[in-house]
């Protein structure tokens, strides 16, 4: 009886919260209740996550996902990776992004170890790998990088070994390879799907023309074409998603798993007063990234965005990520985090998105002034 009353109370509160959330634009809402019968009366946790179909496929990805670039192995060890992936998963994240080149293979090994230990139902999450740069760095020999059939197949097998799994949900061509015929790439990816080693394949930082070429080849030979692209997308880098790909979305309809929603952390505002110790821009070998982003004009805009975020009662990181997922062409924004506090803050971007109404979006636009100018005809 005691347990029953508790359960009904939880369900009632859940229902009220669900109704309150009704006005949000989520096409599919994932609501999970974790009830605990030990601490009566209100010890429950409601997790709210939105899931979006990846382009024209039947695969649904959580609109916020989690990636391992820079952080895994370079900044964090197994125990922190375990904690971060646990927080992500418990909050409804169902996509974990990786690549052969991240920490030269060590990032995939770390994710593989964590996933094995977690022992989550394999069907409850998706994992990616990407091939192009190889994992041997300067030691790469010819055929140990690029998009040849040889490298794509070998890189797939190696990623599966490192991740300790039987198949990849998503497999990306990490960059276009101008030296390999697109027919070779499409046939190889098609065959990997047929063999059950990958479920969907995609491109990353390909041009709209290159994506359409892959689709032309797929249609010509009746093959499975790319269904997802992984471009950079944030308040300061918008052209591909908001200009170049518009016709691609309209015709072949790719999903997108967008990267660097915070421009490597710049849009969290933490670089406005210098470069904090331990942050990405302070890491040796990342000067190229620091130089790309540490520009006065960007910092000025972020200062103004911080003011707006404060007015809304959210952080500028939440505002920036929320802004990304307001774009319906974004299937998922891949979050990066080196600390638990960052991830917990960023996951709240979903709630923050509800505060970004038309008026707020206009104010953001006036501050950043990065909207691409579209051709008149
Ligand atoms: P972000 O732009 O969100 O940057 C994440 C980094 O910013 C964190 O690791 C952390 O770095 C800092 N940060 C995050 N949240 C906060 C916060 N709330 N307050 C302060 N600092 C914060 O994403 P990433 O650049 O990491 O990209 C996300 C994922 O996208 C990658 O993990 C990878 O999976 C994918 N990716 C794909 C690429 C491709 O070519 N396909 C290229 C790049 C990324 P720190 O604490 O070290 O300062």
Contact 235, 322 (CB under 8 A): no
Give strand ranges (E) for 227-308.
Answer: 228-229, 255-258
Q: Over the stretch 239-297, which tens digit does the pLDDT of each residue have?
A: 999 999 999 999 999 999 999 999 999 999 999 999 999 999 999 999 999 999 999 99
Q: For residue 264, report the distance from its CA to the centre of ligand 1, in Å.
A: 5
Confirm or reject: Cβ of 329 under 6 Å from ligand 1: no
Identify whether 171 is a catalytic site residue. Answer: no
Instruction: Please report whether residue 31 resides in a domain.
Output: yes
Total structural domains in the chain? 1
Mean pLDDT of 64-71: 98
Q: What is the pLDDT of residue 46?
A: 67
Among 23-32, 130-139, 337-346, 349-358, which is the least confidently predicted range?
Answer: 23-32
Instruction: State the catalytic residue, choosing from 102, 125, 233, 271.
Output: 102
Instruction: Please report whether residue 36 resides in a domain.
Output: yes
d(C-alpha 137, C-alpha 279), whole Å: 23
Instruction: Please report whether residue 366 resides in a domain.
Output: no
Residue owning the nearest CA to atom 5 of ligand 1: 336
Q: What is the pLDDT of residue 38?
A: 42
Contact 272, 316 (CB under 8 A): no
Instruction: Please report whether residue 162 resides in a domain.
Output: no
Residue 21 lies in domain: 2-45
Instruction: Please report whether residue 15 resides in a domain.
Output: yes
Q: What is the CA radius of gyration of the chain?
A: 21
Tokens read off for 84: 């971060």
Distances from the Cα of 327 to the Cαs of 2, 24, 103, 243, 331, in angstroms? Answer: 46, 14, 31, 13, 9
Distances from the Cα of 194 to the Cαs of 166, 167, 170, 197, in angstroms? Answer: 14, 12, 14, 8
CA 139 to the chain's CA centroid: 29
Instruction: Please report whether residue 20 resides in a domain.
Output: yes
pLDDT tops 90 at residue 20: no
Confirm or reject: Cβ of 335 under 6 Å from ligand 1: yes
Instruction: Please report whether residue 354 resides in a domain.
Output: no
d(C-alpha 86, C-alpha 72), whole Å: 14
Tell which atom from ligand 1 comes closest to the C-alpha of 230.
41
Q: Which is more confidently placed, 44 or 315? A: 315
DSSP 79: H
Q: What is the pLDDT of residue 5?
A: 47
Instruction: Please report whether residue 22 resides in a domain.
Output: yes
Confirm or reject: Cβ of 342 under 6 Å from ligand 1: yes
Q: Over the stretch 49-62, which tens digit does the pLDDT of each residue have?
A: 999 999 999 999 99
Tokens read off for 153: 């197949």
Complete edge-to-edge strand list for the sheet that includes strand 44-53: 29-35, 44-53, 60-62
d(C-alpha 292, C-alpha 159), whole Å: 30
């Amino acid at each position: 009886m005691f347990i029953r009353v508790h359960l009904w109370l939880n369900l009632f509160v859940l229902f009220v919260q669900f109704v309150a959330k009704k006005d949000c634009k989520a096409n599919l809402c994932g609501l999970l209740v974790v009830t605990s019968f030990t601490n009566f009366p209100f010890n429950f946790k409601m997790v709210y996550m939105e899931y979006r179909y990846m382009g024209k496929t039947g695969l649904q990805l959580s609109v916020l996902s989690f990636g391992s670039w820079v952080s895994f192995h370079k900044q964090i060890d197994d125990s922190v990776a375990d904690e971060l992936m646990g927080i992500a998963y418990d909050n409804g994240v169902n996509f974990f992004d990786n690549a052969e080149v991240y920490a030269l293979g060590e990032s995939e090994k770390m994710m593989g170890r964590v996933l094995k230990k977690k022992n989550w139902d394999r069907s409850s999450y998706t994992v990616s790998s990407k091939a192009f740069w190889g994992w041997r760095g300067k030691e790469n020999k010819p055929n140990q990088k690029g998009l040849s059939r040889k490298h794509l197949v070998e890189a797939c097998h190696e990623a599966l070994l490192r991740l300790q799994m039987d198949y990849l949900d998503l497999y990306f061509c990490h960059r276009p390879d101008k030296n390999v015929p697109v027919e070779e790439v499409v046939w190889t990816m098609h065959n990997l799907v047929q063999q059950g080693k990958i479920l969907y394949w995609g491109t990353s930082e390909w041009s709209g023309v290159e994506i359409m070429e892959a689709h032309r080849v797929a249609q010509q030979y009746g093959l499975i074409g790319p269904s997802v692209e992984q471009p950079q997308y944030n308040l300061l880098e918008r052209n591909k998603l908001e200009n170049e790909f518009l016709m691609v979305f309209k015709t072949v309809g790719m999903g997108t798993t967008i990267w660097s929603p915070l421009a490597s952390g710049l849009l969290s505002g933490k670089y406005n007063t210098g470069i904090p110790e331990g942050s990405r821009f302070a890491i040796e070998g990342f000067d190229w990234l620091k130089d790309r982003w540490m520009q006065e004009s960007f910092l000025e805009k972020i200062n103004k965005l911080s003011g707006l975020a404060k007015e809304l009662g959210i952080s500028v990181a939440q505002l920036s990520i929320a802004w990304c997922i307001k774009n319906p062409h974004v299937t998922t924004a891949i979050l990066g985090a080196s600390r638990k506090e960052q991830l917990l803050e960023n996951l709240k971007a979903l709630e923050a998105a509800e505060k970004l109404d038309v008026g707020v979006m206009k104010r953001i636009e006036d501050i950043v002034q990065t909207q691409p100018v579209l051709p008149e005809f």
